[in-house]
Amino acid sequence: MVFLLGSLVSLSYAALVVWVALLARPRPLAPGARRTQVVIVGGGFGGVFAGIELEKALEGRADVEVTLVSRENYFVFQPMLPEVISGTIGLTDVVSPLRRLLPRTSIHVREVESVDLERKTVWLAPGAHPHAHPVPFDHLIVAPGTVTDFRGLPGLPEHALPFKNLADALEVRSRVIHALDEADIESEDRALQRQLLTFVVAGGGFSGVEVVAELNDFVREVAKSYRRIDPRDVRVVLVHAGDRILPEVTEKLGHYAQRLLQARGVELKLNARLQSASGDRAVLSDGSVLETKTLISTIPSSPHPLVEALPVPKSRGKIQVDRSMRVEGHPGVWSLGDCALVPTASGAPCPPTAQHAVRQARTLAANLVATVDGKALTTFDFAGLGKMGALGRQNAVAEILGFNISGFLAWFIWRTIYLAKLPGWGRRAKVAASWTFDLFLPPELVQLRLGGTAGASHQRFEAGETVFRQGDLGDRIYIVLAGQAQVVREQAGKEEVLARVGPGEFFGEMALLSSAPRNASVRCLEATTVLGIPKREFGLLAANLPGLKATFEDVMRMRAGTQPAAEERN
């Protein structure tokens, strides 16, 4: 019955798609005319809806040309992003290709290198060929949003996973499945297995709560498919700085969400912040340590580097605009979304949510066209309709038009509203179908590996942690960037300290060059950051960089006195 209904709906969607596609065919532009160039920077809610509103406002006009620059060729529908973790929705259905959303806009899929406000030019980063590409503008809409910035939190840049775009969500999914696969193999090392089965999410706002709810449901469900994992060993922890989660909603709803998450097995760490991390643990501000290999952080959001570099009036890192969405002192420059500070009628700044960005886009587009046409501007005024957060399978909390709703009803409203807001009828039909299948089918267990660990990378260790153990396989060489570590060898049950290594020194080269297992362990005496260079990479460089090879050979000879050669061990 659900299927039949879904199909009827799908069929009418399909008819609508054809109709919309016919409507959306681009019209020819008048040749030769000098066109006003509008450039939008950013492919999130702000940028994309600015484009959609401009296309509507400029329907049939050929005197204004709109270009949108985005890092990805798709728009991410953020509210559904956590569902990528469990694969409830098809992986590409949570995003929409920009070219389909904006058929009359030129889409440039590139990073922005810099913006020159004086010469009115956006410079694109190199693409297929390594030359910078200029895009001139008359009007500029700045909407790159914010970035996750872990600087200042030791170990987070190296070891915490952000959760902002599709690649992040896929990476989280891939890492979670990988941890389960490994936990199944390492069933004899109980400590390692428990560490692999511990998943930590930092940040108890909507974003963190939605991620932890989805992650918890997914891990506990699929853990049953692993023969050597005891589902009771699975530990999912939410770390939050406040004394209750979901500060965005009323206390009652927040507590409801807490009880629900706890009942489903999520452990809450309140009044605690994530302070530092290594590849093996997360350290909290209350001194507690969580042994984990999977750490996701939804905080903090920092200004986008592009916004940081832009010489315009800013407040708390955000671009100050007036109630017409203009950047003061820079005619033709506009901003909206999470990177902009937009005043509301009450004087308070507009919160950084999708519903506000969409309304800002409407005001901005109308005002931009009015400016081109020399007409009067309007002002932004929108109070917000409500707030919603999903809590995993068939549960949610919502504050809508002053009403508090929780449980199945809130979840049903959540799905209905977001399905309606999802751009494109085809996509809506697909998501509706996926949700229907999800009622009957077990969650998807396929791991999509994203590669990307080929190069040299930073790693951080807390005091007392081990970089590698005697007997391990030598898969990389390390250079100490900061901190102190000692090289320790165990023989006949006794430990001997062979050497100390500090900044600028390297270790681990012996096993690498001789392909033998590590003949000693390296343990950190204080918090230590190293640069790890994988075997393949190091081989390429050592073979081809004369200076590098000579340096290592010198050191090897020198150490041969203090450490027995790898061949002599046993």
Q: Is 558 in the site for a copy of itself (CB under 8 A)?
A: no
Q: How far is the CB of 305 from a copy of itself (least distance, A)?
A: 15
- Footprint of a copy of itself on 254-293 (CB under 8 A): 293
HSE on the CB side for 328, CA within 13 Å?
11
- Of 116-135, binders to a copy of itself (CB under 8 A) are 124, 126-133
Restricting to residues 35-74, name those near a copy of itself by CB under 8 A: 72-74
Q: Look at residues 39, 41, 38 and name the one whose alpha carbon lies nearest to residue 142.
A: 41
Contact between 252 and 241 under an 8 Å Cβ cutoff? The reply is no
CB of 106 or CB of 353, closer to a copy of itself: 106
Cα angle: 563, vertex 568, 570; to 5 degrees: 100
Grouping H, G, I as helix, E, B as strand and the rest as coil, residue 110 is coil
Q: Name the minimum Å distance from CB 315 to a copy of itself.
A: 31
Residue nearer to a copy of itself on the CB measure, 293 or 362 = 293
| 494-513 residues near a copy of itself, rule: CB under 8 A | 504
Provide the 8-state DSSP code for 80: G
- Selected from 138, 248, 322, 475, the binder of a copy of itself by CB under 8 A is 475
- With CB under 8 A as the contact rule, the residue among 289, 540, 560, 565 that binds a copy of itself is 540
Q: Binding residue for a copy of itself (CB under 8 A) from 35, 57, 91, 513?
A: 91
- 3 vs 412 by CB, closer to a copy of itself: 3
Q: State the nearest-atom distance from the C-beta of 192 to a copy of itself, in Å.
A: 6
Interaction with a copy of itself in 477-496: which residues (CB under 8 A)? 479, 481
- For residue 543, the minimal CB distance to a copy of itself (Å) is 9
Give the start-end residues of each E strand in 5-102: 36-41, 64-70, 74-76, 95-97
Chain centre distance of CA 72: 13
Least separation in angstroms between residue 218's CB and a copy of itself is 13
- Closest contact distance (angstroms) between CB of 166 and a copy of itself is 7
Q: Are 521 and 497 in contact (CB under 8 A)?
A: no
322 part of the interface to a copy of itself, by CB under 8 A: no
**Measured from the CB atom, is 255 or 458 closer to a copy of itself?**
458
- Give whichever of 127 and 464 is closer to a copy of itself, judged by the CB atom: 127
- Residues 6 or more apart in contact with residue 377 via CB below 8 angstroms: 324, 366, 367, 370, 371
Give, for 513, the enclosing helix (H) or strand (E).
helix 509-514
Nearer to a copy of itself, 96 or 324 (CB): 96
Residue 418 has a CB neighbour count (10 Å cut-off) of 18
Pair 565, 520: CB distance under 8 Å: no
- Out of 78, 86, 88, 96, name the contact with a copy of itself by CB under 8 A: 96
Q: Does 198 help bind a copy of itself (rule: CB under 8 A)?
A: no
Minimum distance, C-beta of residue 127 to a copy of itself, in the bound complex (Å): 5
Q: From 238, 234, 214, 220, select the one nearest 298 (Cα to Cα).
A: 238
Using a CB cutoff of 8 Å and minimum separation of 24, what contacts does 490-499 make? 490/521, 498/562, 498/563, 499/559, 499/562, 499/563
What whole-number distance in Å separates Cα of residue 146 and Cα of residue 305? 9
Q: How many whole angstroms separate alpha carbon 334 and alpha carbon 143?
A: 9
Judged by CB, which is closer to a copy of itself: 77, or 418? Answer: 77
Residues 4-33 interacting with a copy of itself (rule: CB under 8 A):
4, 6-8, 10-11, 14, 17-18, 21, 26
One residue of 452, 557, 567, 568 binding a copy of itself per CB under 8 A: 452
Residue list 204-243, contact with a copy of itself (CB under 8 A): 225-228
Which position has the token pair 């549960």? 395
Tokens at 348, concatenated? 């308070």
Asked if 138 touches a copy of itself (CB under 8 A), the answer is no
Residue 417 or residue 445: which is nearer to a copy of itself going by CB? 445
